[in-house]
A and B are shown apart, each in its own frame.
Chain A
Amino acid sequence: MPEKIKILYVDDEPENLVGFKAALRLDYQILTAVNVPQAIGFLNEHPGIRIIFCDQRMPGKTGVDFFEEIRISHPLPVRIMLTAYTDVESIIDAINKGNIFRFVKKPWTEADIIWAIAEADKFYMANSMLAVKNDELQKAYNELNKFAYSVSHDIRGPLSGILGAINLARLIDDVEEMRELLFLMEKSVVKLDTYVLSMHDYYSLQRGELKITEINFNEIIDELIAIHTISSIPNNVTFKTSVKQDEVFLNDVAPLKLIISNLLSNAFKYLDKTKTDKSVELNIEVKKGIATIYITDNGIGILESHLGEIFNLFFRSNSLEVGSGFGLYNVKSALVKLNGNIEVNSVLHQGTTFKVTIPSI
């Protein structure tokens, strides 16, 4: 059963409050206050109050005064005025100053109140949805801003580098020098290509539904070994893997591969080139419906002050190996989609371990 709508009723006559509560308490959660300070106390204690009924004629403060007072401090609840007097002056005041949604004439009937509550609740929900959508829009807009920056830096940067190289190439006669230049140009092109590919990952993660299948981690690992031995053998890296899976694991294979593959690429990319015993390890264990994945390297490590930021879009911790700033952000987005979790443990110059846990769906 959905939670009852929380309603506050303010009236200086206790018998009115009792009558109101008695008639409505079965279907709604009713809070009653005999004066304005008590009402404000309730509003502070119960941020979930959706609708406020208030009597206009009260000693000290009128209903309009009360609504005007809480206009800024409690803007969310929908306001309904109860009044026996139909003097135009106070109605105009109520609408202009008190932000009133509706009037209910006293003495009220239960039907009037229920109708008013239903309408007010619809209004409240519409407003809340609008606020949520506004937040989402703002987030999307912020990301778009970052994108504009990234396009200029990560796409135009390599392109202008290649253009500069072409300008230089026109002056070069020596074949060896030309080869050296071509080698560096190729690296820039590959980087650009990787960037475009991960941008594609980024979009497919943001949209798209999950495609659930049975996951065989051994198959995934075989594929990843094939990809990563290309970089591990020539660089003299020990690459160890292990899988323990005796149960069925259901999930979407695409984001799963993306997570493991990105973390492995990073492990290889940020190895310490000065070390002779370079190693990367991948261990996967599936137990009680949860896959736990460890990716460990003895590479250059991550600065402690950077650990909190590595999952942010376009964050780059290192200037030697130039990344796009997409990788770990995509990992994090994929994990959010799969309801998974990631922890990182890193010591500078000693290495990094990522621990990923993903539940079977």
Chain B
Amino acid sequence: MMNIEFSFIIIDDSELDRYVTQKFLERTDGGLIIKTFSNATAALEMIREDQCEECKTPIIILLDLQMPVMNGYNFVEEFEKFHPKVQKNYMIIVLTVLSSTSDPNDIHRILTHPVVNSVIEKPLTKEKLITLLAQVRSNI
């Protein structure tokens, strides 16, 4: 696969899910810069401090919704407080377990935020990832 000029931030409280997502991405392109976070607060902190110097923009944030302490919804709300100059370097893609018990309104609500590009249902597969990357490329 041709070289892709962007980076990834994975935010997920599940260690296994972080590992799987990261490995999938690495298999797609060995040269990708990937940062992982077990909690949304630390990820926000990094974005605020702009610590990812080696990151190539745009930076794709793969965000889990159901997490303790700060969930995905709160993360998006906090993210939107950043300066537009900062925001434009990022694209948020929600990666979450969808089920009949999770309120469809919630999923709809998260998509109303302009910074949220799309929602992908877990579990991740190679096919979903390829679709995702194609979509990101068409958006750049």
Residues in A lying within 8 Å of B, measured CB to CB: 148-149, 151-153, 156-158, 160-165, 167-168, 171-172, 177, 180-181, 184-185, 187-188, 316-320, 322
Q: Is B32 an interface residue (CB 8 A)?
A: no
Contact A161 B16 (CB under 8 A): yes
Kindly state the interface size class of chain B when it binds its partner.
20 to 34
Mask, B42-83, CB within 8 Å of A = 1, is: 000000000000000000000000111100000000000000
Q: Select B123's contact among A161, A187, A316, beta carbons within 8 Å.
A: A161
Q: Which of B105-130 contact A (CB under 8 A)?
A: 122-126
A160 touches B67 (CB 8 A): no
Question: Which of A157, A171, A177 sits near B14, CB closer than 8 Å?
Answer: A157
Give which listed residue, B21, B38, B66, contacts A153 with CB less than 8 A. Answer: B66
Closest to A323 in B: B68
Seed contacts A171-B27, A319-B38; 13 additional CB < 8 Å A-B pairs: A149-B101, A149-B102, A156-B97, A160-B17, A161-B122, A163-B123, A164-B125, A167-B20, A167-B126, A168-B124, A181-B19, A318-B69, A322-B15
Q: Which residue of B lies closest to A171 (CB)?
A: B27
Q: Which residues of A contact B38 (CB under 8 A)?
A: 319-320
The smallest beta-carbon distance between B84 and chain A, in angstroms, is: 29
Q: Name the A residues within 8 Å of B102 (CB-CB).
A: 149, 152
A158 touches B14 (CB 8 A): yes
14 contacts between A and B (CB under 8 A): A151-B101, A153-B97, A156-B97, A160-B97, A165-B20, A171-B126, A177-B23, A181-B23, A188-B14, A319-B38, A319-B67, A320-B39, A322-B13, A322-B68
> For residue B67, which residues in chain A have a CB less than 8 angstroms away from its CB?
319
Nearest chain A residue, comparing its CB with the CB of B23: A168
A151: B residues at CB distance < 8 A: 101
Count of A-B contacts with CB under 8 A?
A: 85
How far, in angstroms, from A165 to B14 measured CA to CA in the complex?
A: 12
Say yes or no: A319-B13 contact (C-beta < 8 A), given A168-B23, A171-B126: yes
Give the Cβ gap from B123 to chain A, nearest Cβ, in Å: 3
Beta-carbon nearest neighbor of A185 in chain B? B16
Chain B contacts for A163, CB-based, 8 A: 122-123
User: CA A149 – CA B103 in complex, angstroms?
Assistant: 10
Residues of chain B within 8 A (CB-CB) of A161 are: 14, 16-17, 20, 122-123
Whether A316 and B68, one on each chain, are in contact in the complex, defined by CB atoms closer than 8 angstroms, is: yes
Report the minimal beta-carbon distance from B100 to chain A, rounded to whole angstroms.
8
Closest Cβ–Cβ distance, residue A307 to chain B (whole Å) = 15
Per the bound structure, the CA–CA distance linking A148 and B102 in Å amounts to 9
How far does the alpha carbon of A223 sit from the alpha carbon of B36 in the complex, in Å?
A: 40
In Å, the complex CA distance between A163 and B20 comes to: 10
Q: Is the CB of A148 within 8 A of B68?
A: no
CA of A185 to CA of B69 in the docked complex: distance in angstroms? 24
- Complex alpha-carbon distance, A300 and B21, angstroms: 29
Selected from A167, A177, A188, A317, the residue in CB contact (under 8 A) with B16 is A188
Closest to B13 in A: A319
With A152-B99, A158-B14, A187-B16 as contacts: A164 and B66 at CB distance below 8 Å: no
CB distance from B11 to the nearest CB of A (A): 10
Q: How far is the CB of A231 from chain B (nearest CB, A)?
A: 18
In the assembled complex, the Cα of A318 lies from the Cα of B42 at a distance in Å of 13
Most interface-central of A160, A180, A184, A317 (chain B CB within 10 A)? A160
CB of B122 within 8 A of CB of A164, answer: yes
Given contacts A148-B101, A152-B97, contact A168 B14 (CB under 8 A): no
Q: CA A20 – CA B105 in complex, angstroms?
A: 62
| Nearest 3 CB-CB pairings of A with B | A164-B123, A316-B68, A163-B123
* A162 contact set on B, CB distance < 8 A: 16
Shortest Cβ distance from B122 into A: residue: A160
Residue of A nearest to B12 (CB): A161
Chain A residues positioned under 8 Å from B97 (CB to CB): 152-153, 156-157, 160
